[in-house]
Structure 1
Amino acid sequence: MKKYLVGMQKDGTVKYYYIRNLENYEIELLPTKYLAHKTKSRRSPNTVRRSAFALSFYLEYLSGKELDVTDVLRMKFTDQTEVFIDFLYWLKQGKHKEENGTTPRNETCNAYLKDVFRFYLFIEMEYQSFGSLKVLSYNQFITPNAVGVRKVIKSHSFHGYLKEEERDVKPAEQDEIVRVLQACTNCRDQLLILLIAETGFRIGEILGVDYIRDIDYENHLLKVYFRDDNENDARAKNAEYRKAKISDDTFEFLIYYLSEYRKELQCQNYLFINITGDTAGKPLKVDSVYDMFTRMEKKTNIKITPHMLRRYFANSRREAGWPLELIQKALGHKHLETTVKYLNIVDDELLDASQKYYEQQQPMYGIEKLL
């Protein structure tokens, strides 16, 4: 039986997560204070929730070792390293679950440990007397960036993460999208699929769209704004602002959808809502979207997810000649490397590009003079 329970308490629209010890029914103060800090720092509820479960798993692990959080801070570097590597393998074996299920991905285990590390760094900042996490002893140096702004570069010494598997997520294909659209039973689901495919927005960004404030009806633009009080917990990642143009056909379909469900939409401002049942008219949530895609997969034998639609957007724009930087901006990626991972760049394509380059630049080194 688990010793620690993750709970949630609402204060208005804000969700506060906590961890309770089920043996004495007391709140675990250090991790709960950290979770409150993340909430007050405007991190998304889903992010805070994931951190809460990561910390509850870690507390379960420490309990089995008869250790507490501060004991680890007082350990030597080698002992700390052993604790965290052992924690990773404990997760990998599924010991954080009460029932045997699928083995967690290495990426998932590493993400849990990174949440634990962030917790410890918070403790170091708040309570310096507890000691330090030596496996994260930062080396830092200051360097100017391209525009002369001084930037602190940090690196840490922990190298015990599990080797992460390559994620084999293929982009949706246009014919697959068409077939799924034809199988949908309502225009809300069809519009949702069309907008993700045409904007590349994340599902949380699409679900947060306010049809009064976030749509430029004159120029056929969809806008993304960061809000931390959305009723359906939808958020724009990285607190960024973006906008995207949609096709004339999709815009006409958007107007048709607004007309079709005008009564349900009148009670609130979210573009996507529940259209049946007791919650009709309430903002649509992420879980309901994934349930819809699961139903479509059973109906058509075609697997499509919001992430696959984002990859479709990236690859179709690249094929149309968009520069990588434009695709990066459209997707809302902080790093160009992330955008490149979305693209179907294969070895043969790289070889063909190299061949064409050399054909165009054949005499660039003057090698004929060296022979």
Structure 2
Amino acid sequence: MSNFYVERTITKDGGQSVILVNENYQIIEEVALFLNYLEQKGRATNTIESYCRSLKEYYSWLSYENLKFYEVNQRLLISWLDFMHNQVGSPKEKSPRTVNKHLAAVSSFYRYYVDVKGFVVDNPFISSSDSTSNTQYYVQNINPRNVNFNMFRQKEPKKKNTLRLFRNQVEVLYNALNNLTKVKEINTRNQLIFRFMYETGCRIGETLGLRLNDYSEPDPIDDFGLIKLTEYTPLYHSDHKLKTGTRIIPVSMDLIYEIDEYVCNVRPQLDDIDTVFVNHRNTVGKYMIRNSIDDLFSRLSEVTNIKCTPHTLRHTHGTELKESGYSEVFIMDRLGHQSIGTTSKYMHISYDDQLAAYESFILSRRGSL
């Protein structure tokens, strides 16, 4: 069985790309074309890498079975499922979510080649109302938009919503940041990062990629300022990449003042670095990367015994907006979602707010009788 590796490369414009190579470091061209398609569609580098890692496992199975990807049919995919459970990662049964992630990635790979009419005309992962029992390639032309369901997708158990925080938890976490280190400047920066994510719902990449010209000037007359999330080329680091492009969001003027105070009086200055948030030790003044934030939130969760990640703050922000009556359309735009369906997943409304809304509904109904 051949070995395959996921590698990141630098493009001509200074950006990053992802490729799959074999043990001789030869690029797997059909995968490269598919990943380039995802890049052209504007998918984030981390998302493309996730697809590539699933295809790495799939190509390991193809090598194990001595198959070409265009030779696979639904009957053979039973072997792929077995390989996934027993030889991918740790040798234990994979969760339905993990299985479905790999299935979705590889199915998208086949769907791409069905659309461009290259190599295959049938997606072996999909059962279609138009398909017959004949699974040979180049026999029939199937429109991928007529497909009905994925033959191998597994049912995922519903999870309890544990992503949103409540106000008392937010206060505990925020205050704990002031004692997480003995360096006052670092604690000040960390509290600002926490507050920025909580009050804007920004992702890690959007927060770390924020630059000095991306927030409005402090103005004592106005109650609100603006944060502009901008896609820069080239980036300092791939961790700064925006997932859904440029947008402008309103924020409180208090937050603008706190950002400006940090930039003017606390932030180490380097002429060639203009991200708002920078390192305060080791590489002083240099831009921050995701690992630093992940480590920060891991230590914060351990100290407070409250599970919190940057994405938890994003969910909390969206939920609080919804609870306050903010339109889902505006929440979608503010959070940078591409569909209302994605926004609805962030709506973890508390019981008290549901009760208050229902009481209001009952009172309005009684008034109309």
Please give the TM-score of this superposition, normalised by the length of structure 1: 0.79
Return the offset for 1:197.
0.7
Q: 244, 250, 268: which is aligned to 1:238?
A: 244
Q: 297, 300, 306: which is aligned to 2:301?
A: 297
Residues 353 and 258 of structure 1: CA distance in aligned 2, closer, same or farther (over 3 Å): closer
Q: What letter corresponds to residue 307 of structure 1 in structure 2?
A: H
Which residue number in structure 1 is paired with residue 62 of structure 2? 62
Q: Alignment partner of 2:269: what SS? A: helix
Structure 2 residues without counterparts, runs of 5 or longer: 131-143, 219-223
Cα separation, 1, equivalents of 2:172 and 2:352 = 30
Cα separation, 1, equivalents of 2:252 and 2:150 = 48
Counterpart check, 1:4 vs 2:4: yes
Q: 117, 133, 148: which is aligned to 2:123?
A: 133
Matches within 5 A, 1:213-232: 214-218=214-218, 220-227=225-232, 229-232=234-237
Q: Alignment partner of 1:5: what SS? A: strand
Counterpart check, 1:280 vs 2:272: no
Which residue number in structure 1 is paired with residue 134 of structure 2? none
Residues 17 and 312 of structure 1: CA distance in aligned 2, closer, same or farther (over 3 Å): closer
Which residue number in structure 2 is paired with residue 110 of structure 1? 100
- Please give the per-residue CA displacement for 1:220-279, whole angstroms capped at 9, x wherever unaligned: 21111334632221222233x3322333332222122102344435422211222211x3
Structure 1 residues without counterparts, runs of 5 or longer: 141-151, 367-371
Return the offset for 1:300.
2.4
- Please give the per-residue CA displacement for 1:31-75, whole angstroms capped at 9, x wherever unaligned: 123223433554322122112111101111222333220101xx3
Return the offset for 1:88.
4.3
Which residue number in structure 2 is paired with residue 250 of structure 1? 255
Which residue number in structure 1 is paired with residue 156 of structure 2? 164
Q: 320, 327, 332: which is aligned to 1:323?
A: 327
Residues 302 and 363 of structure 1: CA distance in aligned 2, closer, same or farther (over 3 Å): closer
Contact 1:228 1:235 in 2 (8 A): no
- Please give the per-residue CA displacement for 1:291-346, whole angstroms capped at 9, x wherever unaligned: 11112122222221111111221222233332333323322223333333322336
Contact 1:85 1:161 in 2 (8 A): no
Cα separation, 1, equivalents of 2:78 and 2:265 = 55
Q: What letter corresponds to residue 328 of structure 2 in structure 1?
A: L
Which residue number in structure 2 is paired with residue 124 of structure 1? 114
Cα separation, 1, equivalents of 2:311 and 2:216 = 25
Which residue number in structure 2 is paired with residue 45 of structure 1? 45
Q: Percent identity?
A: 25
Return the offset for 1:164.
2.2
Size of the aligned set, in residue pairs, is 340
Q: What letter corresponds to residue 236 of structure 1 in structure 2?
A: L
Which residue number in structure 2 is paired with residue 148 of structure 1? none
Which residue number in structure 2 is paired with residue 17 of structure 1? 18
Residues 96 and 351 of structure 1: CA distance in aligned 2, closer, same or farther (over 3 Å): same
Runs (4 or more) in structure 1 with deviation over 6 Å come to 137-140, 346-349
Structure 1 stretch displaced more, 188-197 or 266-275:
266-275
Please give the TM-score of this superposition, normalised by the length of structure 2: 0.79
Counterpart check, 1:341 vs 2:345: yes
Cα separation, 2, equivalents of 1:70 and 1:283 = 45
Q: What letter corresponds to residue 318 of structure 2 in structure 1?
A: A
Q: Alignment partner of 1:258: what SS? A: helix
Residues 105 and 129 of structure 1: CA distance in aligned 2, closer, same or farther (over 3 Å): closer
Cα separation, 2, equivalents of 1:225 and 1:231 = 13
Contact 1:88 1:110 in 2 (8 A): no
Q: What letter corresponds to residue 153 of structure 2 in structure 1?
A: Y
Residues 211 and 33 of structure 1: CA distance in aligned 2, closer, same or farther (over 3 Å): same
Contact 1:7 1:17 in 2 (8 A): yes
Which residue number in structure 1 is paired with residue 200 of structure 2? 199
Cα separation, 1, equivalents of 2:146 and 2:204 = 32
Matches within 5 A, 1:19-38: 19-22=20-23, 24-38=24-38
Q: What letter corresponds to residue 316 of structure 1 in structure 2?
A: E
Cα separation, 1, equivalents of 2:101 and 2:338 = 19
